[in-house]
Amino acid sequence: MFYWRDGGHEVDFVIRSGRRVVAIEVKSGRRRDGTPGIAAMAAAHRLHRKLLVGAQGIAIADFLERPVVDWFAD
């Protein structure tokens, strides 16, 4: 697990399993202000999945209850 940053764009969490990469953006507020960091990372790298946690995405409790391997499944 690591984070990604390129210029003014960043992704909160990046997890990798083999060749599969999952980008995770966490929003603490109720509003979804977009995910420009994930968009920039997806333009530069091949992503298996892009996840938004919190805000209008996956509920934080639901995200934390699932094992990390679930996010790599097809």
State the average pLDDT over residues 56-74.
92
| pTM of the complete model | 0.88
| The pLDDT value given to residue 28 | 82
Tens digit of pLDDT for each residue in 17-54?
999 999 999 988 766 677 899 999 999 999 999 999 99
Q: Delimit the domains of the chain by residue range.
A: 2-72
- Give the torsion through C-alpha atoms of 39, 43, 44, 48, to 10 deg: 80
